[in-house]
C-alpha cells in the first residue's frame, strides 16, 4: 500500500507528522507532497526538522495568489504527481485550498481520498475554509473526525455512517509528543517574564486584519490588553503586511513600548508551544490554537463570531467572544481575576489518533489493487 499525503501550510504538517510516523510503523509507504501554498520549503525547513518530518518527495511551489489561482496551481501539480505515482489512496488534512484541490484531483482520477479532520463546521460560508471543508468531505471516501459533533454534522449532510470514523485529533498527537521538549525551552524567559504572567496573542483572519478600519480597532484592543497584562504577539506575515499597508506598524515601534504588545517574528513550532503552554491567557482568531489550549488548560479567548471547533468550548478552556473590543477585554478581566472553569480533555485526544488512522487505512485500503 502506498499513500500520498498532501500538506500546504504549517498547520497541515503538525497533523501530517504523526501520520507519517504511524504509517511507517504500520509498513505503509508514504509519498509526501508539499504544495508550498503558504511557505517555501527552504523557509520552513526548521519547522520540518522540529517535527521530524522527512523531506517532501514533491514540492509544487504554488506560492501566494488568489483562491482561484492557488487552487488551480495545486490541481495542476497534483494531477502530475498522482498520474506518476498511482497511489493506493490520498490523505488530505485540514481545510486549506491545497486540501480541496488535492481531493478534487484524486477523486476525478478514481483514487480513494481520506480526509483527516473531517466534519468540522462553522456554518459561516463567508469563510473560505468552510467551503473547503464541505467540498472536501463531499468527495472523500473516508472521513476521520476529531469529535462526535463532527460525526453528527456529516450525518446531517447525508454522509453514510460507514464512511465516518471518529479517531481523535492528530494535531494533539504532535502536541503531546513534543510538549516536554517545548516546555524545556522556556521561551517566556527570553522576554523577561515568569510563567503565567503574560498573554499570548495571534491575529491573522481576514475579518480581523484586512479591513484597515477593523485593524485599527484591533490594534487599539491590543494596546488595552497590554495595559492589563504583558503581551507577546508572534505576527503572521499577513498581519505584518496589513499593519504596514495601513500605517499602523509604527505604533508598535513607538518610544513608549510598554504600552504595546511585543511584536515578534513568527515562531517555530516548539517555541510557539512553549510560549503557549505557560501563558496566563491566549487571545486568538486561530482554529488550531483553540484545540491546543483545550489540552494545555490555558484560558483561550477566540475573537470570532463563530468557531468550527466548538468541542473546545465544551472542554472549558475556550470562550468565543464577539469582535467588539469591550467584550474581549471584559472576558480577559474575568480570567485575570481568577475565574475558574472545569477543564475536560475531549475524548480520544490522547496522542494515538495517527495509530488509529493507520489501522483503519490498512483495513479499508489494504487489499486495493
The pLDDT score that the predictor gives to residue 43 is 60
Interval 348-362 mean pLDDT: 98
DSSP string of 190-213, one letter each residue: GGT--TTSSEEE----HHHHTSHH
Mean pLDDT computed over 272-276: 97
* pLDDT band at residue 288 under the 50/70/90 scheme: very high
- Kind and range of the H or E run holding 324: none
Q: Provide the percentage of residues in the chain whose pLDDT is more than 70.
A: 97
The residue with greater pLDDT, 112 or 251, is 112
Q: For 174-198, write each residue's pLDDT tens digit.
A: 999 999 999 999 999 999 999 999 9
The pLDDT tens digits of the residues spanning 103-134 come to: 999 999 999 999 999 999 999 999 999 999 99
Q: Residue 73 — pLDDT band, cuts 50, 70, 90?
A: very high
Output the CA angle 269-353-97, nearest 5 degrees.
60
The angle at the Cα of 48, spanning 38 to 352, to the nearest 5 degrees, equals 105
Of the residues 34, 38, 178, 204, which is catalytic?
Answer: 204
Our answer to whether residue 236 is catalytic in this structure is no
Cell numbers found for residue 265: 517574528
pTM of model > 0.85: yes
Q: Is the pLDDT of residue 254 over 80?
A: no
φ, ψ at 61 (rounded to 5°): 55, 50
Please check the confidence at residue 200 and state whether its pLDDT lies above 70: yes
CB count in 10 Å sphere of residue 330: 11
The average pLDDT across 270-293 equals 96
Q: What pLDDT was estimated at residue 369?
A: 58
Task: Kindly indicate the confidence band of residue 333, based on its pLDDT and cuts at 50, 70 and 90.
Answer: very high
What span, in angstroms and rounded, lies between the C-alpha atoms of 321 and 283?
A: 10
Cell reading at 54: 522527512
Summary mean pLDDT of the chain: 93
How high is the pLDDT of residue 42?
Answer: 54
How far is it, in rounded angstroms, from Cα 344 to Cα 246? 41
In this predicted structure, the answer to whether residue 258 has a pLDDT above a threshold of 70 is no
CA distance 156 to 152: 6
Domains (range + CATH), the chain: 2-168+350-365 (3.40.50.2000), 177-336 (3.40.50.2000)
Which runs of E-coded beta strand occur in 281-364? 281-284, 300-303, 318-321
Amino acid at each position: 500500500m502506498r499513500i500520498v499525503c498532501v500538506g500546504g501550510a504549517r498547520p497541515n504538517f503538525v497533523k501530517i507528522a504523526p501520520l507519517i510516523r504511524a504509517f511507517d510503523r504500520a509498513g505503509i509507504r508514504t509519498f509526501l507532497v508539499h504544495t508550498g501554498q503558504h511557505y517555501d520549503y527552504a523557509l520552513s525547513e526548521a519547522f520540518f526538522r522540529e517535527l521530524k518530518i522527512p523531506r517532501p518527495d514533491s514540492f509544487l511551489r504554488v506560492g501566494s495568489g488568489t483562491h482561484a489561482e492557488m487552487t488551480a496551481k495545486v490541481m495542476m501539480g497534483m494531477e502530475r504527481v498522482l498520474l506518476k505515482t498511482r497511489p493506493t489512496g490520498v490523505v488530505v488534512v485540514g481545510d486549506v485550498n491545497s486540501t480541496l484541490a488535492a481531493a478534487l484531483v484524486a477523486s476525478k482520477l478514481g483514487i480513494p481520498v481520506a480526509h483527516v479532520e473531517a466534519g468540522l463546521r462553522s456554518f459561516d460560508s463567508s469563510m473560505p475554509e468552510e467551503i473547503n471543508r464541505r467540498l472536501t468531505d463531499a468527495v472523500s471516501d473516508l472521513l476521520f473526525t476529531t469529535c462526535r459533533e463532527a460525526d453528527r454534522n456529516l450525518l446531517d449532510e447525508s454522509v453514510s455512517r460507514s464512511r465516518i470514523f471518529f479517531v481523535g485529533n492528530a494535531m494533539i498527537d504532535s502536541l503531546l509528543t513534543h510538549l516536554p521538549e517545548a516546555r524545556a525551552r522556556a521561551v517566556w524567559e527570553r522576554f523577561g517574564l515568569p510563567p503565567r504572567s503574560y498573554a499570548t496573542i495571534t491575529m491573522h483572519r481576514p475579518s480581523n486584519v484586512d479591513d484597515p478600519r477593523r485593524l485599527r480597532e484591533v490594534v487599539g484592543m491590543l494596546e488595552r490588553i497590554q495595559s492589563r497584562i504583558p503581551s507577546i504577539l508572534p505576527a503572521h506575515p499577513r498581519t505584518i503586511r496589513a499593519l504596514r499597508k495601513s500605517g499602523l506598524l509604527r505604533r508598535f515601534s513607538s518610544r513608549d513600548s510598554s504600552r504595546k504588545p511585543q511584536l515578534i517574528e513568527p515562531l517555530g513550532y516548539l517555541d510557539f508551544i512553549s510560549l503557549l503552554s505557560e501563558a496566563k491567557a491566549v487571545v486568538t482568531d486561530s482554529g488550531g490554537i483553540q484545540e491546543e489550549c483545550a489540552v494545555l488548560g490555558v484560558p483561550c479567548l477566540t475573537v470570532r463570531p463563530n468557531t468550527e471547533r466548538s468541542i473546545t468550548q465544551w472542554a472549558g478552556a475556550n470562550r468565543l467572544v464577539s469582535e467588539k473590543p469591550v467584550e474581549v477585554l471584559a472576558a480577559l478581566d474575568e480570567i485575570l481575576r481568577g475565574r475558574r472553569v472545569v477543564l475536560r480533555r475531549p475524548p480520544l485526544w490522547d496522542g494515538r489518533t495517527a495509530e488509529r488512522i493507520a489501522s483503519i487505512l490498512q483495513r479499508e485500503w489494504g487489499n486495493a489493487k
